[in-house]
Structure 1
Amino acid sequence: MSTTRTLTPTRRLLSTPRPQPQSKHQHPRRTFLTLPSPPPQTLTAARRLPYPYLHLYDLIADIDSYVTFLPYCQTSRVTHWTTPSSSSPSATRRWPTRADLTAGWGGFQETYTSRVFCIPSLGIVEAISGDARTLIPISTLREHGLSDTGPGTRGVSDGGVFKSLVTRWTVSPAGGEEASGWSDVRLSIKYQFANPVYMAVSSAVADKVAPVMVEAFVERARRILGEPGKGEGEEKKKDVGALR
Structure 2
Amino acid sequence: MATRVAVSRMHMRATRFPVPNGAASSTATAILPPLLHRRPFFSLPGSPESATQHLSATRTLPYPLPPLYELIADVDSYSSFVPYCSHSRVTQWSAPNDQPNNSDLWAGRRWPTRADLHVGWGSFNEVFTSRLRCVPGASVEAVSGGVVDGDGQEQASAVFKSLVTRWSVREAAGSTTGAPRTEVHLSIRYQFANPLYAAVSAAVSDRVAAVMIEAFEERARTQLGGKK
Q: Normalising to structure 2: TM-score of the pair?
A: 0.70
Q: Secondary structure, in 3 states, of the residue corresponding to 1:36? A: coil
Residues 1:48 and 1:153: Cα distance change in structure 2 (over 3 Å)? same
> Aligned AA for 2:225?
G
Label 1:195 to 1:94 Cα distance change in 2 as closer, same or farther (>3 A): same
Bigger mean CA deviation after superposition, 97-106 or 200-209? 97-106
Residue identity matched to 1:152: V
Structure 1 equivalent of residue 218 of structure 2:
219
Q: After TM superposition, give the deviation of residue 109 of structure 1 in Å.
A: 3.8
Corresponding residue of 1:127: 142
Structure 2: where are the runs of 5+ without partners?
A: 1-36
**CA shift in 2, pair 1:163/1:226, >3 Å:** same
1:168 maps to which residue? Answer: 166
Equivalent position amino acid for 2:183 in 1: D
1:92 aligns with 2:114: no
The percent identity for this pair of structures is 53
What's the CA shift string for 1:137-180, capped at 9, x where partnerless?
A: xxxxxxxxxxxxxx314898446111011111011111225795
- Equivalent position of 2:31 in the other structure: none
Measure how far apart 1:107 and its partner are: 6.8
CA distance in 2, matches of 1:177, 1:160: 44
d(CA) in 2 for partners of 1:200 and 1:54?
39
Q: Does 1:55 align with 2:50?
A: no
**Counterpart for residue 208 of structure 2:** 209
**Residue 69 (structure 2) pairs with residue 71 (structure 1):** no
Indicate the structure with greater strand content.
2
Q: Secondary structure of 1:199's partner?
A: helix
Where 2:207 maps in the other structure, the secondary structure is: helix
When normalised by structure 1's length, the TM-score is 0.66
Counterparts of 2:187 and 2:205 in 1: how far apart (Å)? 13
Q: Which amino acid aligns with 1:98?
A: R
Superposition RMSD in Å: 2.7
Kept in 2: contact 1:129–1:166 (CA 8 A): yes
Alignment of 1:1-244 (within 5 A): 32-33=39-40, 36-87=48-99, 89=104, 90=106, 92-104=108-120, 108-121=124-137, 123-131=138-146, 151-153=147-149, 157-158=155-156, 160-176=158-174, 180-227=179-226
Distance 1:159 1:184 in 2: 32
Q: How many residues align?
A: 180
Secondary structure, counterpart of 2:133 in structure 1: strand
TM-fit CA distance, 1:103 = 2.4
- Structure 1: give runs of 5+ residues left out of the alignment: 1-29, 132-150, 230-244
175 and 82 in structure 1: CA distance in 2 versus 1, 3 angstrom threshold:
same
Contact 2:148 2:154 in 1 (8 A): no
Counterpart-to-counterpart distance in 2, 1:47 and 1:106: 29
Other-structure match for 1:136: none
Q: Judge which range, 50-59 or 170-179, deviates more.
A: 170-179
